[in-house]
C-alpha cells in the first residue's frame, strides 16, 4: 500500500459504503449475483465492507428484486434506485447523486465496485483512515503496471514514438517502479464533491492495491481468470477458524507427476520431499492424512515409498471411500479437505469443505471452487495446499 499526500485535518461524519448493482447488465446478465467461487459476486465486496467495521452503513443501490434479496442476505441495506438512473446510459455519478438525495445523513460515500471480488477489509480500513485522520476529500484505488506506452499511429506510414521510455536504455522491471493506473475497485468522495459532479477532487490521494487483489470482471473472458484467482487471493470472511480433521489426497497426479516408471520386475514412483514436509506439518496439527489411488499399488511399493501417512490403493469409488472414513472418524464434509487432479476427483472436490488442485489438474477439476496451486503434481503442490489449509485453520476464512 502507498498513499500520496499529507494532512492533519480529521474528518468525521456518516461514511456509507455504496455498491452499485444494476440488474440490466448487458455484458454478463445479472453479473452481480452470478456465483463466483461458491458465492454471489456482490457478496465478496459486501463481506469485505461489513467485516472492515469502518463504515457507518453499507448499502446496495439496485433496481432488481433478485439483487435486493442477495444484498439483504449479505447484511447490506438496499436503496431502490429509480428508472432514470438504471438505464444503460446512466453514469455511476448520477446514481450516487440520487442515493445522496434520499440519504441526507450521509457525509462521505465509499463507492465500491461489485466486480472487484478480491477486495480485503484491511484495504478499506486504511482508506477510511486516510479520509478520517488525514483529511482527504477523495481517495481512489490504483494498481502498479510495468507497461511501456507508445503513441498511436493514426494513418498509414505515420511514425510512432515512445511515451514513457528510452528505447536505447530499456529498464529492467526490477529497476523501474512502473506507473500507477486506476483499477476501478473503489472511489471515496465527500458529499460536497459528489453534489458538484465530481468523484475525484479537492485534496486527493490514491491507494495502491496489490496486483493479486486488483481483479475486475467486465466481460465473460474475465470470469475464468477470476475463478482461478479468487480462491487464492479473495477474502473469505472472519470468524471461527476453518476446522480440518482429515485430508485425503490423490497419489496419482498430486503426490506424483502422474507418471509410472516400470521395468521387468518393479514399478517405481517419484515424489517431492517438499510434499512430505507439508504432510508432516498437517500431522503435527492433528490432521489425519490419507493418500489414495485408483491403481492397485502393491504393498511392497507402498512400503518403499516410506510415507508418513496411511495409503489406500485400488480405490474404485473415491466418494464412497471418503464417506466410509468420515463415518469411522465421526467427521463431516466440512471438516474434510480433499486434493485431486482428475475428472474422477471432481465429485469429492465439490463436496469437501476445503479443496485444492495442482497447477496441471484437468479442466474439470480446475473448474471446481478449489484452491489453485501454482505448482504441479509431484513438484510441491501438496506442500502448497497444506500451507493453505494451515493458514485457514490458524486465521479463519
285 in the same domain as 228 = no
pTM of the shown model: 0.68
209 in the same domain as 66 = yes
Residue 265 has pLDDT above 90, yes or no: no
Last residue of a domain, one of 209, 233, 257: 233
CB atoms within 10 A of CB 371: 18
373 in the same domain as 262 = yes
Domain harbouring 220, CATH code: 3.90.550.10
Q: Which among 106, 110, 98, 114 has a CA at the least distance from the CA of 140?
A: 110
Residue 388 has pLDDT above 90, yes or no: no
**22 within some domain:** yes
Q: C-alpha grid cell for residue 319?
A: 466418494
278 in the same domain as 209 = no
Tally of residues, the chain = 397
> How many structural domains does the chain have?
2
For every residue of 58-90, DSSP letters joined together read EEEEES-HHHHHHHHHTT-EEEE--GGGSSTT-
297 in the same domain as 207 = no
Residue 17 has pLDDT above 70, yes or no: yes
Q: Which among 199, 286, 292, 206 has a CA at the least distance from the CA of 245?
A: 286
286 in the same domain as 316 = yes
**Range 338-347 average pLDDT:** 94
pLDDT of residue 338: 95
pLDDT of residue 148: 94
What is the SS3 assignment for 344? helix
Which structural domain, as residue segments, surrounds residue 83? 14-151+163-233
Domain harbouring 284, CATH code: 3.40.50.1000
Helix residue ranges per DSSP H, the chain: 41-52, 65-73, 92-102, 121-132, 191-195, 222-233, 273-284, 299-305, 318-329, 346-351, 363-366, 381-395
pLDDT band per the 50, 70, 90 thresholds, residue 26: low
Residue 256 has pLDDT above 80, yes or no: yes
Last residue of a domain, one of 176, 198, 233: 233
Beta strands in 209-264 (DSSP E): 246-250, 261-262
pLDDT of residue 9: 61
From the centroid of its chain, how far is CA 30?
20
**Range 195-217 average pLDDT:** 94
From the centroid of its chain, how far is CA 6?
31
213 in the same domain as 147 = yes
Look at strands 106-112 and 310-312 and give their pairing: unpaired
What is the SS3 assignment for 39? strand
Q: C-alpha grid cell for residue 114?
A: 461489485
pLDDT of residue 95: 97
If 0-12 CB within 10 Å is exposed, 13-18 middle and 19+ buried, where does residue 154 land? exposed
Rounded CA gap, 98 and 80, in Å?
10
pLDDT of residue 108: 98
Catalytic residue flag (residue 238): no
Last residue of a domain, one of 233, 258, 290: 233
Q: Give phi and psi for 116, each to the nearest 5.
A: -120, 75
> Higher pLDDT residue, 10 or 377?
377
Return the bridge partners of 336, or none.
246
- Can you tell me which residue has the cell 501454482? 374
pLDDT of residue 6: 40
Catalytic residue among 35, 149, 170, 196, which? 170
Residue 271 has pLDDT above 90, yes or no: no
179 in the same domain as 92 = yes
pLDDT band per the 50, 70, 90 thresholds, residue 5: very low
Residue 242 has pLDDT above 90, yes or no: no
Determine what percent of the chain is predicted with pLDDT higher than 90. 65
pLDDT of residue 27: 63
pLDDT of residue 37: 75
373 in the same domain as 348 = yes
Rounded CA gap, 302 and 305, in Å?
5
- Can you tell me which residue has the cell 429509480? 82
Residue 11 has pLDDT above 70, yes or no: yes
Query: What is the per-residue pLDDT across 84-109, written as a single tens digit (0 to 9) for each?
Result: 998 888 999 999 999 999 999 999 99
169 in the same domain as 299 = no
pLDDT of residue 238: 67
pLDDT of residue 4: 39
Query: What is the per-residue pLDDT across 318-333, written as a single tens digit (0 to 9) for each?
Result: 999 999 999 999 999 8
Residue 246 has pLDDT above 80, yes or no: yes
254 in the same domain as 206 = no
205 in the same domain as 102 = yes
- What one-character DSSP code corresponds to residue 321? H
**308 within some domain:** yes
Distances (CA, A) of 194 to 98, 123, 131, 186, 201: 10, 22, 15, 14, 9
pLDDT of residue 228: 76
Q: Which among 65, 46, 159, 173 has a CA at the least distance from the CA of 112?
A: 46
Amino acid at each position: 500500500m502507498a498513499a500520496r499526500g499529507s494532512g492533519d485535518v480529521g474528518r468525521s461524519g456518516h461514511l456509507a459504503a455504496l455498491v452499485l448493482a444494476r440488474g440490466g447488465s448487458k455484458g454478463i446478465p445479472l453479473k452481480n449475483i452470478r456465483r463466483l467461487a461458491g458465492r454471489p459476486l456482490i457478496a465478496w465486496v459486501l463481506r469485505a465492507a461489513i467485516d472492515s467495521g469502518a463504515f457507518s452503513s453499507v448499502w446496495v443501490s439496485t433496481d432488481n428484486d433478485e439483487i435486493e434479496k442477495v444484498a439483504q442476505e449479505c447484511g447490506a441495506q438496499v436503496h431502490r434506485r429509480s428508472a432514470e438512473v438504471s438505464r444503460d446510459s446512466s453514469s455511476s455519478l448520477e446514481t450516487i447523486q440520487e442515493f445522496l438525495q434520499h440519504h441526507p445523513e450521509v457525509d462521505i460515500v465509499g463507492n465500491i465496485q461489485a466486480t472487484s471480488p478480491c477486495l480485503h477489509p484491511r484495504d478499506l480500513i486504511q482508506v477510511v483512515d486516510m479520509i478520517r485522520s488525514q483529511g482527504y476529500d477523495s481517495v481512489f484505488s490504483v494498481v502498479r503496471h510495468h507497461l511501456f506506452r507508445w503513441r498511436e499511429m493514426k494513418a498509414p506510414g505515420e511514425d510512432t514514438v515512445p511515451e514513457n521510455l528510452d528505447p536505447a536504455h530499456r529498464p529492467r522491471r526490477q529497476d523501474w517502479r512502473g506507473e500507477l493506473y486506476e483499477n476501478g475497485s473503489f472511489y471515496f468522495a465527500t458529499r460536497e464533491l459528489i453534489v458538484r459532479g465530481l468523484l475525484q477532487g479537492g485534496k486527493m490521494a490514491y491507494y495502491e492495491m496489490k496486483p493479486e487483489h486488483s481483479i475486475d470482471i467486465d466481460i465473460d473472458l474475465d470470469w475464468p481468470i477470476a475463478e482461478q484467482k479468487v480462491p487464492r487471493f479473495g477474502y473469505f470472511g472472519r470468524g471461527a477458524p476453518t476446522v480440518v480433521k482429515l485430508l485425503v489426497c490423490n497419489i496419482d497426479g498430486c503426490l506424483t507427476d502422474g507418471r509410472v516408471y516400470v521395468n521387468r520386475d518393479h514399478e517405481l514412483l517419484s515424489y517431492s520431499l517438499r510434499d512430505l514436509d507439508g504432510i508432516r506439518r498437517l500431522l503435527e496439527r492433528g490432521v489425519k492424512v490419507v493418500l489414495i489411488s485408483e491403481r492397485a499399488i502393491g504393498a511392497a511399493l507402498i512400503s518403499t515409498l516410506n510415507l508418513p501417512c496411511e495409503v489406500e490403493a485400488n480405490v474404485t469409488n473415491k466418494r464412497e471411500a471418503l464417506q466410509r472414513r468420515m463415518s469411522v472418524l465421526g467427521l463431516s464434509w466440512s471438516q474434510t479437505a480433499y486434493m485431486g487432479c482428475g475428472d474422477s476427483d471432481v465429485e469429492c472436490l465439490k463436496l469437501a469443505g476445503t479443496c485444492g488442485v495442482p497447477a496441471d489438474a484437468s479442466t474439470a477439476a480446475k473448474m471446481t471452487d478449489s484452491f489453485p496451486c501454482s505448482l504441479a503434481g509431484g513438484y510441491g503442490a501438496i506442500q502448497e495446499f497444506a500451507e493453505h489449509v494451515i493458514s485457514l485453520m490458524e486465521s479463519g476464512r
